[in-house]
């Protein structure tokens, strides 16, 4: 069960006759009446912690509070389980280091960093499928292919490989699963291609997610113009807490359009609102075309005469964004 529609299943969940239950959890609160992180309700045999960073500014005051939440999750894993840690994350390493005297769970580390026990090497994004090799403790273990793109997706695949190996799933089965996995809707999902323009929908809203998404698309479409369209809609993205981070996050795009902040009244009740004009100015200072427009219709009207054959348009929002994807495709069709 995950927080999105898995394209292989056509739903956010899939029931099998196995003894395993796999769930995506995060540190956001459970409900308005239960402010504990969702993952504190689980008792995992295996827990994957890929990355820890500041997010959910409406729930947490700072990174330290989030680190504490993840340390509690790590303590839930029993001694006969596995704690699979993304070793490319400096904060994950720091939290694990602070807990070493109290963790009795078997720890498996993974990542692109050479210090990880499980390492992905030889990443190749040039073909239809992403290819990479997995090394375990410095020795080549197996080779894999996946339709997913980007360094972060290779890390995700590697975490799954480590978990599957802990469950003694044969390498051939893991290879087949990764090769045939179609991803999740709204995760770099191609919504359509019209007149040579590719319109992509992505859920990215945290600055790290924005940067990693654009980095992956830049690697995949190296010679094509990459247009990033972003709606600050999540609680954290509506606040100025990530103002400077967003200015860096759009570095891989050639052309950036920032929509107006969603529901500024509610956002302003929590804290200082993201300054979109300043963000555009900071991006433009890096010799990129950048502008701010109020809503989806204004953005479509602006991009209509701008779009050309070969363009990649990455639309990022955690909401419907006024149906902008279909509106852009309809304009291209007409």
pLDDT one-digit tens code per residue, 157-190: 999 999 999 999 999 999 999 999 999 888 889 9
- Helix, coil or strand: residue 271: coil
Spatial contact of 190 and 220, defined as CB atoms under 8 Å apart: no
**Cα-Cα-Cα-Cα dihedral sign, residues 88, 150, 54, 27:** negative
Rounded (10°) CA dihedral 84, 86, 89, 94: 20
Q: What residue spans of 90-233 are helical by DSSP H?
A: 90-99, 151-166, 171-180, 207-220
First and final CA of the chain: distance in angstroms? 39
pLDDT band at 138 (very low <50, low <70, confident <90, very high): very high
Angle between helices 171-180 and 151-166 (to 10 degrees): 150
Task: Give the chain's largest Cα–Cα span.
Answer: 64
Q: What is this structure's pTM? A: 0.85
Q: What is the mean pLDDT of residues 60-70?
A: 88
Mean pLDDT of 45-53: 93
User: How far, in Å, CA of 85 to CA of 51, rounded?
Assistant: 8
Reference 228, options 262, 200, 194; nearest CA is 200
Torsion angle defined by CA atoms of residues 54, 57, 60 and 61, in that order, rounded to the nearest 10 degrees? 90
Give percent above pLDDT 70 in the chain.
99
């Amino acid at each position: 069960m995950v927080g999105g529609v898995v394209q292989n299943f056509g739903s956010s969940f899939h029931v099998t006759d196995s003894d395993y239950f796999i769930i995506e959890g995060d540190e956001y609160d459970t409900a308005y009446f239960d402010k504990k992180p969702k993952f504190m309700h689980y008792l995992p045999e295996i827990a994957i912690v890929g990355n820890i960073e500041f997010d959910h500014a409406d729930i947490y005051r700072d990174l330290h509070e989030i680190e504490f939440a993840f340390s509690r999750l790590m303590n839930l894993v029993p001694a006969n389980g596995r704690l699979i840690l993304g070793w490319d994350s400096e904060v994950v390493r720091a939290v694990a280091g602070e807990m070493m005297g109290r963790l009795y769970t078997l720890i498996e580390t993974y990542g692109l960093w050479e210090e990880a026990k499980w390492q992905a090497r030889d990443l190749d994004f040039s073909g239809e499928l992403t290819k990479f090799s997995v090394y375990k403790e410095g020795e080549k273990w197996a080779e894999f292919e996946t339709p997913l793109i980007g360094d972060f997706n290779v890390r995700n695949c590697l975490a799954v490989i480590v978990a599957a190996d802990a469950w003694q799933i044969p390498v051939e089965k893991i290879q087949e699963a990764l090769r045939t996995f179609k991803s999740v809707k709204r995760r770099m999902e191609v919504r359509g291609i019209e007149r040579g323009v590719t319109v992509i929908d992505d859920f990215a809203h945290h600055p790290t997610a924005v940067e990693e998404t654009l980095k992956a698309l830049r690697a995949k479409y190296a010679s094509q113009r990459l247009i990033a369209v972003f709606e600050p809609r999540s609680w954290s993205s509506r606040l100025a807490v990530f103002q400077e981070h967003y200015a860096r996050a759009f570095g891989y795009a050639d052309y950036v359009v920032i929509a107006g902040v969603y529901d500024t009244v509610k956002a302003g009740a929590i804290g200082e609102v993201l300054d979109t004009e300043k963000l555009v100015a900071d991006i433009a200072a890096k010799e990129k075309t950048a502008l701010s427009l109020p809503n989806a219709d204004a953005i479509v009207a602006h991009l209509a005469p701008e779009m050309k054959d070969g363009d990649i348009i990455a639309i990022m929002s955690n909401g419907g964004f006024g149906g902008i994807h279909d509106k852009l495709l309809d304009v291209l069709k007409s």
